[in-house]
């Protein structure tokens, strides 16, 4: 971190009494940002932290002038001063030029920010030609240099690649190259690592820190994860419900947080050093007394025993995908290679690895959403892989999956009641609809949703609530095995804690077995009895959770563990 975080000329960015409201209909508006004020010093990194709906991204979009004027309004008394000039009083063309050159932004999802029909080189060069007046040849040469600077391998070849031909981490590096192309004074990074693997996340964080130091930029880093903040920021601003709850130097915030909400954000995330019976949630802290309650909690023991009853035995499971190459040829890609493991009844197997390691493919193949190339998966003496579709039908009830994205996995045209009743009708669970409706209401209560949710649609719920609905849908089948595929990765830390507590309660009560797929190793440490590490389709290490984290044997496992953000 930078020691020199002040400058004689004063802060680079000054936000004063910023109020932003959104029009919901002709008569109703919602105030998303409620009079916040903060500074971003020159040559420093300031982190803006809070959950979804806190107003942090709206604040950054207001700075960039990217709020849609037809349904948003910045209060007339608000001021946003950049280098002493009020951005809100500038003419649109002048502000657009300034925000393209002196202020730039990295967005959360690179695939939706990069144009899929243009090469990455064209998109970087376009910025340089538009704002720096470079010729095509100059812009291409500078684009090559930028791709090298942000760590893209083989930039001479990748400059002519389309976004879809790059990995998620490489796409984000291209976004960073575009953002620093004009050497801006202020870089705004809005959740730039949320969807990335832990190793790629660490690389991107290190890259932003290195570029900040090299170009002497100011950085406004937006995130919901305080652990990340400790590795990059000089100052922290904590927001909730459109107001600033706390602000201070990063070490002060981590060592002596004053606000209950800040304490909650710090403690809701699973800790590598402890495993309480239940994770604390935001409401525990707002209600007070949570620090004592958390400290007094007994620790949950994890691990497997020799007498554990196996529920699923997988042996040499493989899955290949075939791609057409040339006119008649085809190419084989081995996504999963000879994966073997035993899942015990009532236990959790954590599956970790970077994107492309094959962990999701293993889960989908076990559910026969992919057809295995070879191998067996023995469930009560029957091989799930080789049995006919008709024979497999009853097993669909007994092994279910929670997908990563609750927004895409629920039918938007169905009410929650219809979503829960449909699988029960298909599998003839319950004697009649009266029994099924009663069961659906009981499941909603079990996952912590009100009875009124039965008649509402998925879009009326938050991400965490939608994931609860997805869990309730799985429970209609009364499964014995639940595959959780990155099921908490897109959630805020407090909502994540609620869902993890729910999954643990259900396992304690119903004795279900989980295959818990995740790239978040802190969450896996909290949930898993055994951990299986995958790399390039193969299992490189398999051990009890505590043993693997305490004494990793494989170099790749050590790399993954070394990339976990640990704060200051």
pLDDT tens string 427-471: 889 889 999 999 999 999 888 888 999 999 998 887 778 888 999
Highest mean pLDDT among 246-260, 273-287, 459-473: 246-260
Bridging pattern class, strands 538-544 and 530-535: antiparallel
Give the burial class of 539: count Cβ atoms within 10 A of its Cβ; 0-12 exposed, 13-18 middle, 19 or more buried. buried
pLDDT digits (tens, 9 = 90+) for 298-325: 888 899 998 899 999 999 999 999 888 7
Give the domain CATH number at 352. 3.40.50.300
> Could you please report the per-residue DSSP string of 1-64?
--S----TT--SEEEEEEEEEEE-SSS-EEEEEEEEEEEE-TT-EEEEE--TTSSHHHHHHHHH
State the residue range of the domain holding 377.
Answer: 310-563
pLDDT digits (tens, 9 = 90+) for 491-515: 778 788 888 998 999 899 989 999 9
For all residues of the chain together, what is the average pLDDT? 89
Q: Is residue 107 part of a domain?
A: no
Residue 108's closest CA among 55, 175, 53? 175
Give the other-Cβ count within 10 Å of 541's Cβ.
Answer: 19
How high is the pLDDT of residue 49?
92
* Mean per-residue pLDDT, 386-405: 90
Q: Which two tokens stand for residue 320?
A: 């290949």
> What sign for the dihedral angle of Cα 227, 264, 525, 197?
negative
Q: Where is average pLDDT lowest: 465-469, 521-525, 562-566?
A: 562-566
Specify the number of domains making up the chain.
1
pLDDT digits (tens, 9 = 90+) for 157-189: 999 999 988 877 788 889 999 999 999 999 999
* Mean per-residue pLDDT, 140-165: 92
Residue appearing with tokens 């067996």: 376
Residue 57 phi/psi, 5° resolution? -70, -35
Radius of gyration of the chain (CA): 25
pLDDT at residue 8 tops 70 = no
How high is the pLDDT of residue 112?
77
SS3 label, residue 114: coil
Q: Where is average pLDDT lowest: 389-398, 413-422, 483-492, 502-511?
A: 483-492
Q: Is residue 507 part of a domain?
A: yes
Judge contact between 79 and 89, C-beta under 8 A.
no
SS3 label, residue 346: coil
Long-range pairs of 155-158 with CB within 8 A, sequence gap ≥ 24: 158/120
Cross-strand bridge partners of residue 79: 16
Q: Is residue 129 part of a domain?
A: no
pLDDT at residue 224 tops 90 = no
Q: Is residue 244 part of a domain?
A: no
Q: Is residue 77 part of a domain?
A: no
Q: How far from the centroid of its chain's Cα atoms is residue 548's Cα? A: 24
pLDDT at residue 5 tops 70 = no
How high is the pLDDT of residue 327?
76
Largest CA distance in the chain: 77
Per-residue b or e along 89-114, where b marks 16 or more CB atoms closer than 10 Å to that residue's CB:
ebeeeebeebbbbbbbbbbbbbeebb
Q: What's the DSSP call for residue 458?
A: G
pLDDT band at residue 350 under the 50/70/90 scheme: very high
Residue 552's closest CA among 527, 536, 531, 537? 531
Q: Is residue 270 part of a domain?
A: no
Bridging pattern class, strands 399-402 and 348-352: unpaired
pTM of the model: 0.82
C-alpha 126/C-alpha 128 separation (Å) is: 5
Q: Which two tokens stand for residue 190?
A: 């809005």
pLDDT at residue 539 tops 60 = yes
Share of the chain above pLDDT 90, in %: 58
* Mean per-residue pLDDT, 283-297: 62
Q: Is residue 267 part of a domain?
A: no
Q: Is residue 536 part of a domain?
A: yes
């Amino acid at each position: 971190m930078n020691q020199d975080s002040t400058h004689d000329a004063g802060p680079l960015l000054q936000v004063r009494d910023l109020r932003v409201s959104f029009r919901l209909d002709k008569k109703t508006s919602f105030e998303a940002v409620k009079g916040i004020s903060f500074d971003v010093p020159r040559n420093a990194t300031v982190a803006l932290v809070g959950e979804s709906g806190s107003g942090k991204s709206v604040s950054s979009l207001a700075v960039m002038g990217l709020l849609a004027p037809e349904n948003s309004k910045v209060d007339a008394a608000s001021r946003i001063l950049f280098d002493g000039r009020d951005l809100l009083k500038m003419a649109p063309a002048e502000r657009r030029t300034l925000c393209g050159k002196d202020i730039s932004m990295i967005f959360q999802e690179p695939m939706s920010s990069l144009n899929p029909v243009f090469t990455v080189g064209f998109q970087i060069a376009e910025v340089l030609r538009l704002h720096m007046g470079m010729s095509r040849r100059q812009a291409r040469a500078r684009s090559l240099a930028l791709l090298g600077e942000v760590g893209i391998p083989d930039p001479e070849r990748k400059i002519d690649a389309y976004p879809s031909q790059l990995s998620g981490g490489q796409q984000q590096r291209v976004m960073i190259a575009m953002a620093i192309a004009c050497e801006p004074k202020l870089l705004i990074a809005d959740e730039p690592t949320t969807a990335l693997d832990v190793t790629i996340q660490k690389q991107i964080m290190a890259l932003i820190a290195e570029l900040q130091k090299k170009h002497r930029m100011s950085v406004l880093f937006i995130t919901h994860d305080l652990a990340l903040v400790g590795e990059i920021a000089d100052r922290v601003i904590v927001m909730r419900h459109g107001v600033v709850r706390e602000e201070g130097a990063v070490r002060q915030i981590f060592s002596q947080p004053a606000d209950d909400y800040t304490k909650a954000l710090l403690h809701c995330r699973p800790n590598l050093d402890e495993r309480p019976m239940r994770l604390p949630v935001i409401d525990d802290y707002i209600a007070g007394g949570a620090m004592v309650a958390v400290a007094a909690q007994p620790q949950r023991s994890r691990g497997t025993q020799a007498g554990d009853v196996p529920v699923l035995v997988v042996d040499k499971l493989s899955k290949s995908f075939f791609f057409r190459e040339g006119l008649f040829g085809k190419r084989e890609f081995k996504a999963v290679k000879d994966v073997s493991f035993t899942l015990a009844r009532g236990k959790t197997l954590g599956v970790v690895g970077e994107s492309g390691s094959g962990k999701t493919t293993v889960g989908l193949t076990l559910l026969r959403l992919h057809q295995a190339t070879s191998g067996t998966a023995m469930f009560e003496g029957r091989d799930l892989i080789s049995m006919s579709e008709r024979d497999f039908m009853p097993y669909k009830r007994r092994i279910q999956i929670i997908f990563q994205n609750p927004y895409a996995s629920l039918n938007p045209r169905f009410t929650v009641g219809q979503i829960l009743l449909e699988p029960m009708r298909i599998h003839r669970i319950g004697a009649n609809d009266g029994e099924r409706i009663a069961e659906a209401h009981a499941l909603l209560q079990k996952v912590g949703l009100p009875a009124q949710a039965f008649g509402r649609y998925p879009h009326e719920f938050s991400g965490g609530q939608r994931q609860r609905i997805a869990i309730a849908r799985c429970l209609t089948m009364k499964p014995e095995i639940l595959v959780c595929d990155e099921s908490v990765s897109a959630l805020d830390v407090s909502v994540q804690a609620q869902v993890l507590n729910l999954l643990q309660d259900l396992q304690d009560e119903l004795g279900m077995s989980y295959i818990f797929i995740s790239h978040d190793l802190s969450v896996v440490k909290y949930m898993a009895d055994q951990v299986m590490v995958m790399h390039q389709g193969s299992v490189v290490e398999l051990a009890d959770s505590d043993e693997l984290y305490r004494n990793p044997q494989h170099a790749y496992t050590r790399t993954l563990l070394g990339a976990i953000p640990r704060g200051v």
